[in-house]
């Protein structure tokens, strides 16, 4: 351990997988330009070769397998954006955030502070916003998780995503998926209509670039359109895409 790069315990557990197909393909297809993702994935795997202890290797767990849209009968599965994933064999210490990013490769959800203070990891569990970094993945078994990928996609954005684009509600973009997940959930919560109310309701999401006024404008636009009946239930989610 003294020699190689020092890894946290959870990285020992999570980094034991080979490169993803996606990352490998990405690497093959872009010989001139190595993408950030494939570079970092490769670095993680290389780091483990020199530093992983036998104990860490023994603790490696199976990658959850996508099992289609029907829930798994034994209940040890989780629905993410409308798809069911088997959690059998997952170590209890894996957080929902790490499950999403490192195993399901849904990297739209970001890891910021990893301690529930910044909101970058915000996702919906059964429609309610939570910090996925403080949620143990096995504890959401049987529940429905929605991430930014399940909210909307390019060409088919959720109204809140479109409003963030329109109002320039970001600069670097790292907090943005968490901000949007929080904002969509906020529409269904008992929060007043003023800008101050929105700021209070968005207090769990930090933006170090300081895009706050634009974020508030985006949220207020979607709220106004919702109240006027010009949007169909933008807070609703089925795990699929929204018009």
Partner 1 sequence: MHNFTLEQASTVEATAGSKGRFIAGGTTLVDLMKLGVEQPPALVDITALPLDQVEVLPNGGVRIGAMVRNSDLANHPVVLKNYAVLSQALLSGASPQLRNMATTGGNLLQRTRCPYFRDPTSGGCNKRNPGTGCAAMEGHHRMMAILGTSDSCIATHPSDMCVAMTALEAVIHVQGAKGKREIAIGEFYKLPGETPHIENVLEPGDLITHVELPPSKNTKQV
Residues in contact with partner 1 by CB under 8 A are 9-10, 59, 91-93, 95, 114-116, 119, 122, 128-131, 134-136, 138-139, 182, 185-186, 189-190, 201-205
Closest separation in Å from C-beta 97 to partner 1: 11
For residue 209, the Cα-to-chain-centroid distance in whole angstroms is: 20
Nearest residue (CB) to partner 1, 78 versus 185: 185
Closest separation in Å from C-beta 202 to partner 1: 8
Q: Rounded CA gap, 232 and 243, in Å? A: 9
Nearest residue (CB) to partner 1, 45 versus 134: 134
Nearest residue (CB) to partner 1, 68 versus 190: 190
Which string of b and e fits 70-99 if b means at least 16 CB within 10 Å?
eebeeeebbbbbebbbbbeebeeebbbbbb
Other beta carbons less than 10 A from residue 213's beta carbon: 13
Nearest residue (CB) to partner 1, 122 versus 214: 122
Nearest residue (CB) to partner 1, 168 versus 189: 189
For residue 243, the Cα-to-chain-centroid distance in whole angstroms is: 21
57: burial class by Cβ within 10 Å (0-12, 13-18, 19+)? Answer: exposed
Q: Rounded CA gap, 87 and 141, in Å? A: 8
Closest separation in Å from C-beta 153 to partner 1: 24
Closest separation in Å from C-beta 12 to partner 1: 10
Closest separation in Å from C-beta 178 to partner 1: 9
Picking from 143, 147, 148, 146, the residue whose alpha carbon sits closest to that of residue 77 is: 143
């Amino acid at each position: 351990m003294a020699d190689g790069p020092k890894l946290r315990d959870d990285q020992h557990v999570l980094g034991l997988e080979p490169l993803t197909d996606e990352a490998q393909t990405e690497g093959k297809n872009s010989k001139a330009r190595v993408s950030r993702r494939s570079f970092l994935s490769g670095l993680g795997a290389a780091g483990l070769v020199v530093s992983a202890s036998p104990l860490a290797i023994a603790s490696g767990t199976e990658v959850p397998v996508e099992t289609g849209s029907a829930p798994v009968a034994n209940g040890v599965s989780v629905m993410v954006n409308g798809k069911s994933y088997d959690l059998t064999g997952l170590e209890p210490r894996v957080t929902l955030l790490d499950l999403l990013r490192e195993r399901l490769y849904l990297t739209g959800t970001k890891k910021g502070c990893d301690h529930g203070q910044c909101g970058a990891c915000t996702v919906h569990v059964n429609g309610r916003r939570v910090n996925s970094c403080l949620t143990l993945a096995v504890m959401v078994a049987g529940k429905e998780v929605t991430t930014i990928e399940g909210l909307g996609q390019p060409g088919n954005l959720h109204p809140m995503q479109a409003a963030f684009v329109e109002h320039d509600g970001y600069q670097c973009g790292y907090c943005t998926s968490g901000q949007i997940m929080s904002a969509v959930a906020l529409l269904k919560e008992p929060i007043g209509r003023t800008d101050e109310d929105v700021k209070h309701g968005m207090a769990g999401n930090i933006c170090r670039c300081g895009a706050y006024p634009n974020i508030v404008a985006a949220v207020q636009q979607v709220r106004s359109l919702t109240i006027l009946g010009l949007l169909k239930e933008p807070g609703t989610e089925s795990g699929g895409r929204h018009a």
